[in-house]
């Protein structure tokens, strides 16, 4: 009898353990863990979207909260960490607004080191000094060259020096994909940038079949070398032309063929990254100065880390304020701006912006996140943009960041920087004709097998809802993931808290 009783006790124990194991697995493999305050019909609707067969490989994380009373409306794997992709820019925005402030501006300075005579001869060197401005353009450099001429400069007995020492020379982020290096979204990071650190390559057919394709490079052609293996193909032949930059080198490789009769509107134009942005900026400036009639006795560009004490300013370019720069970053999801902003945060706090997990940029940001109330063991930031494959953050932490920003006096600056559903930025084509259109302000994010969306939407009661929807390890098509995210946001836009609504006049 004792033996039989012991058997049943052990069996009951095993059943209990099995139930506990199943509950544990539901947490690991993506079942919702909704709070007592969650809306059951809303939760069922969101569950039905996320449980679609297309997402059977995916790891999903969702956290949805009403802003005014912090009521949790839905959560699934909310405290697990995910690759955020460009949702990382929410964290970068937070760090930049706290450390720099919305009125912060960058200054790029042209200095004369040496005696400038009345007849315009500089007995010394000209220096361009960067402060990390990611929005500087060739047109800005041209204006600086014009200003130098207005200041009387006609000849430089020395050469042009350039100073990018405010940032380190880790030009690429930690664990960025090596095969993305030539492409516009992986531009190198520097304290001295121009035109997004990109060149524009326009390709045209030659005059006869078999002739090399013609190549036009702007803003300057002499910074890169071209290996042109591309040829002109027969009329109506297939366009197989391919243009890239070789890894770690300022060498363009062109292969394939371009039909002789291709329409001019169909001629390929590609934007590719360059190596060493500071030297690239100095090369363009030197060209602009020479166009202004300023002669240099020596044209070998030299990098420096400190200006002489007697250097005087000839021209200074001031960027747009951070409030504008955030819009340029978040709406189109500009990676270079994000990287420069994060290193600027580190530079302002410590004197030099350094990259990587242990660099001044990330460490300064982590201090800000802690002060903002984020859960620090649910976040690891490795870069500013989200390109790194070792960025991790939980949906809960992203909602905490968004909620913190909503309480700050500069919230409108951040809110207005986000893409608006059906209106602009990376949400231009999404949620059109729904209750979320012109309503949802959110940051998108995408790298291979990662698709994220986090931001704000206003419900039927006029309450602002804060949400984070994150897909990792998702083998479903990109459009399937974004459609699911859009369905959830549209559901939130149409949601009404019946109890709250009944209490209102």
pLDDT attached to residue 37: 63
Q: Is the pLDDT of residue 25 over 90?
A: no
Q: Alpha helices of 351-453 — where are they, by DSSP H?
A: 360-371, 395-406, 411-417
| In a shared domain, residues 159 and 290 | yes
List 190, 323, 333, 426, catalytic entry: 333
Q: Is the pLDDT reported for residue 21 higher than 60?
A: no
> Of 262, 293, 320, which residue sits at a domain end?
320
**Do residue 45 and residue 67 come from a single domain?**
yes
pLDDT number for residue 502: 37
Tell me the pLDDT tens digit for each residue of 189-198: 999 999 999 9
1 within a domain of the structure (yes/no): no
Any domain includes 16: no
Q: For residue 396, give the 3-state DSSP assignment.
A: helix
pLDDT (0 to 100) of residue 34: 59
Q: Which residues partner with 420 through β-bridges?
A: 441
Alpha carbon of residue 348 to chain centroid: 20
* Cα 470 from chain centre: 17
Query: Which has more confidence, 9 or 183?
Result: 183
Band of the pLDDT at 20, cuts 50, 70, 90? Answer: very low
Residue 337 lies in a domain: yes
| Residue 89 annotated among the catalytic residues of the structure | yes
> Which tokens go with 52?
């679609």
Query: What is the pLDDT at residue 30?
Result: 43
Provide the pLDDT confidence category of residue 18 given band limits of 50, 70 and 90: very low
Query: How many domains does one find in the chain?
Result: 3
What gap in Å lies between CA 351 and CA 412, rounded to an integer?
29
Q: Which helix (H) or strand (E) holds 76?
A: strand 72-76
Mean pLDDT of 15-32: 42
Say if residue 360 is in the same domain as residue 465.
Answer: yes
Q: What's the rounded mean pLDDT across residues 48-53?
A: 96
Average pLDDT of span 81-100? 98
Q: In the sheet where 269-273 sits, what is the strand order?
A: 214-218, 198-204, 269-273
Q: How confident is the model over 394-408, as a mean pLDDT?
A: 98
Which residues, 6 or more positions from 496, have their beta carbon under 8 angstroms from its beta carbon?
459, 460, 461
Give the Cα separation of 64 and 364 in Å (integer). Answer: 28
Of 265, 289, 320, the last residue of a domain is: 320
Predicted pLDDT of residue 23: 39
Instruction: Find the domain containing 197 and state its range.
Output: 188-273
Over residues 88-115, mean pLDDT: 98
Residue that the structure tokens 């070789």 belong to: 246
Looking at residue 141, which CATH number applies to its domain? 3.50.80.20
Q: What is the CATH number of the domain that holds 331?
A: 3.40.710.10
Whether the predicted pLDDT of 499 surpasses 60: no
Tell me if 180 is assigned to some domain: no
- Enumerate the β-bridge partners of residue 464: 458
Which strands, in side-by-side order, build the sheet including 242-245? 225-228, 251-255, 242-245
86 is catalytic: yes
Residues 6+ apart with CB under 8 A from 14: none
Domain check: are 269 and 134 in the same one? no
Specify the pLDDT at position 39.
82
Question: In which band, very low, low, confident or very high, does the pLDDT at 35 lie, cut at 50, 70 and 90?
Answer: low
User: 3-state DSSP helix/strand/coil percent for the chain, to nearest 5?
Assistant: 35, 25, 40
CA distance 94 to 101: 10
- Tell me, yes or no, whether 387 and 488 share the same domain: yes
Token couple for 99: 């450390």
**Residue 43 shares a structural domain with residue 118:** no
Are residues 425 and 299 located together in one domain of the fold? no
- Segment 156-171 shows an average pLDDT of 97
The answer on 398 and 483 residing in a single domain is yes
Mean pLDDT score of the chain, rounded to an integer? 92
- At 221, the pLDDT band (50, 70, 90 cuts) reads very high
* pLDDT for 33: 58
The pLDDT of 399-416, averaged and rounded, is: 98
Distance CA 152, CA 298 (A): 19
Structure confidence at residue 309 as a pLDDT band (50, 70, 90): confident
Residue 468 lies in a domain: yes
Measured CA to CA, the distance from residue 115 to residue 119 in angstroms comes to 11
Q: Looking at 432-497, which runs of residues are DSSP E strands?
A: 441-447, 450-458, 464-472
| Domain contains 13 | no
Strand 242-245 to 251-255 pairing: antiparallel
Residues 344 and 476 in one domain: yes
Is residue 462 predicted with pLDDT exceeding 70? yes
Tell me: do 342 and 433 sit in the same domain: yes
pLDDT > 70? residue 14: no
Per-residue pLDDT band for 36 (boundaries 50, 70, 90) equals: low
Average pLDDT on 359-382 reads 97
Residues 444, 405 share a domain: yes
Q: Is 503 contained in some domain?
A: no
The DSSP code sequence of 140-207 is HHHHHHHHHHHTT--EESS-EEEE-TTB-S--S-TT--GGGTTBGGG----SS--GGGEEEEEEE--S
Give the closest residue to 82 by CA, choosing from 366, 363, 356, 447: 447
Please compute the mean of the pLDDT values over residues 378-403 and round it to a whole number: 97
Residue 26: its pLDDT value, please? 42
Given a cut of 80, whether residue 169 has pLDDT beyond it is yes
Single out the residue of 202, 173, 368 nearest to residue 271, CA to CA: 202
Give yes or no: residues 333 and 426 share one domain.
yes
Q: What is the pLDDT of residue 501?
A: 42
- Using CB atoms within 10 Å of the CB of residue 236, give its burial: 0 to 12 exposed, 13 to 18 middle, 19+ buried: exposed
Per DSSP, what are the bridge partners of residue 155? 121, 295
Indicate whether 371 belongs to any domain: yes
Last residue of a domain, one of 273, 294, 310: 273
């Amino acid at each position: 009898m004792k033996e039989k009783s012991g058997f049943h006790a052990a069996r009951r124990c095993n059943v209990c353990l099995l139930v506990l194991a199943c509950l544990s697995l539901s947490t690991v493999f993506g079942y919702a863990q909704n709070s007592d305050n969650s809306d059951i019909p809303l939760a069922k609707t969101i569950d039905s979207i996320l449980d679609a067969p297309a997402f059977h490989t995916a790891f999903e994380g969702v956290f949805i909260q009403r802003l005014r009373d912090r009521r949790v409306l839905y959560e699934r794997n909310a405290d697990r960490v995910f690759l955020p992709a460009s949702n990382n820019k929410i964290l970068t925005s937070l760090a930049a607004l706290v450390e720099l402030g919305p009125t912060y501006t960058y200054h790029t300075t042209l200095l004369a080191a040496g005696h400038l005579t009345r007849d315009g001869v500089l007995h010394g060197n000209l220096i361009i000094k960067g402060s990390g401005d990611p929005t500087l353009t060739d047109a800005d450099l041209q204006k600086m060259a014009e200003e130098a001429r207005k200041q009387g400069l006609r000849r430089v007995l020395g050469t042009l020096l350039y100073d990018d020492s405010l940032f380190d020379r880790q030009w690429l982020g930690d664990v960025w994909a090596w095969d993305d290096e030539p492409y516009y979204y992986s531009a190198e990071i520097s304290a001295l940038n121009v035109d997004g650190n990109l060149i524009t390559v326009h390709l045209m057919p030659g005059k006869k079949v078999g002739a090399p394709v013609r190549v036009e490079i702007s803003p300057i052609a002499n910074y890169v070398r071209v290996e042109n293996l591309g040829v002109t193909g027969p009329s109506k032949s297939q366009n197989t032309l391919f243009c890239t930059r070789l890894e770690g080198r300022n060498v363009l490789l062109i292969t394939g063929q371009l039909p002789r009769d291709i329409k001019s509107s169909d001629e390929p134009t590609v934007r590719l990254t360059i190596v060493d942005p500071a030297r690239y900026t100095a090369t363009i400036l030197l060209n602009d100065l020479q166009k202004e009639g300023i002669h240099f006795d020596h044209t070998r560009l030299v990098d420096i880390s400190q200006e002489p004490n007697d250097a005087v300013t000839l021209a200074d370019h001031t960027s747009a304020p951070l409030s504008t720069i955030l819009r340029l970053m978040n709406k189109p999801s500009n990676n270079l701006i994000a990287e420069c902003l994060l290193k600027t945060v580190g530079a302002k706090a410590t004197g030099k912006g350094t990259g990587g997990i242990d660099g001044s940029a990330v460490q300064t940001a982590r201090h800000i996140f802690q002060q903002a109330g984020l859960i620090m063991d649910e976040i690891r930031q490795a870069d500013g943009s989200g390109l790194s494959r070792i960025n991790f953050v939980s949906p809960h932490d992203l909602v905490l960041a968004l909620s913190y920003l909503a309480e700050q006096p500069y919230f409108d600056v951040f809110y207005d920087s986000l893409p608006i559903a059906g209106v602009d930025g990376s949400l231009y084509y999404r949620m059109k004709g729904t209750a979320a259109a012109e309503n949802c302000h959110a940051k998108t994010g995408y790298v291979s097998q990662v698709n994220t969306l986090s931001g704000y939407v206003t419900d039927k009661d006029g309450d602002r809802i804060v949400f984070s929807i994150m897909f990792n390890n998702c083998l479903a098509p990109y459009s399937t993931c974004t459609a699911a995210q859009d369905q959830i946001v549209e559901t939130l836009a149409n949601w009404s808290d019946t109890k709250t609504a009944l209490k209102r006049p």
